[in-house]
Amino acid sequence: MTTRLLIVGPQGSGKGTQGVRIAEAFGVPVVSTGDIFRANIKNNTPLGQKVKAITDAGDLVPDEVTSEIVRDRLAEDDAREGFLLDGYPRNTAQVGHLDEFLSGRGEALDAVIVLDVPREESLKRLTLRAEQEGRSDDTTDVIARRLDIYESETAPIIDVYAPRGIVDRIDGVGSLDEITERIFAALEARGLARAAA
Residues with catalytic function: 15, 90, 129, 135, 146
The whole-number pLDDT of residue 56 equals 85
**What length does the chain have?**
197
Which pLDDT tens digit goes with each residue over 156-183?
999 999 999 999 999 999 999 999 999 9
Confidence band for 146, pLDDT divided at 50, 70 and 90: confident
* Cα gap 108→195, rounded to integer Å: 20
* Cα gap 15→67, rounded to integer Å: 20
**131 pLDDT higher than 90:** no
**139 pLDDT higher than 90:** no
Q: Please name which of 51, 27, 29 lies closest in space to residue 39, comparing C-alpha atoms.
A: 51
Q: For residue 167, list its beta bridge partners.
A: 112
Query: What does the angle CA 57 – CA 149 – CA 60 come to, to the nearest 5 degrees?
Result: 40
User: Class of 3-31+82-189 per CATH?
Assistant: alpha beta
> Is residue 70 within 8 Å of residue 88, measured between CB atoms?
yes
Domain locations along the chain: 3-31+82-189
Q: Is the pTM of this model over 0.85?
A: yes
Q: For residue 150, list its beta bridge partners.
A: none
The whole-number pLDDT of residue 197 equals 60
